[in-house]
Structure 1
């Protein structure tokens, strides 16, 4: 083939590859654009509750469930805050929960739920002098990106020593 024909043909192929076609509606990038336009969830938009699921080998397992109680879709995801509180006045008991894994943003329509799995180590696993056991009234829960918290009753025993980490939780994931 003629050298003079190969060069223009190659130039056309390179030029054609440099153009991009905009994403069509319904594609992942279009869905991401729509999701990012939805306002983020605020504390008042989500109702928190705790549900125990299992226990064994010095651990108790459960879920923090956030339900969208607003009349509008909102965007959430990732981590919130979780800690034990007590003394009848919301005093933090021990270390806040450690975070396990990672998670991304998603949209919750009214009534939909997001779940964070919780793993609690039983305080009695630790020497009393190290742990300094203390009664817990429940959880202080911050929904992702919020500065106001919610209280969820969960009577148990925590450790006053902040070096003892009894709680861990996963990033919130959309349920169902």
Structure 2
């Protein structure tokens, strides 16, 4: 019998993971989660999970890639909650990336398909973040009241 210290090729090595929540201080996370909870009428636990995933998404987006990235329908409201806190959002982006991550809804094409959402979630996992797969099932559509304007539903073209 031979023992091996490395997993077989078919089993990916487990790396320590981090949370999106760890990317902001607790006071900001609490303010954003409270906003999300109240504006979207969701339980606190869900607001925190959505915000955690949105922050991990933004970190991954800030690393740059030519591959399209998009949040899921469940995670998109977390990005919107942060965007609406413009001073904190701008500062966070500039301190981490040296530039602001702009929200540029797709026009003329729909990049928010299941394939792109899954590829985005996999990129988040590859970045070492915990992924709450239950929040990455559906492509994002227009999320009221912060409508993207990138398709039907909220009056976008």
* TM-score bracket relative to the smaller structure: under 0.3
Larger radius of gyration: 1
Which has a greater percent of helix? Answer: 2
What TM-score do the two structures reach when normalised by structure 1?
A: 0.24
What TM-score do the two structures reach when normalised by structure 2?
A: 0.26
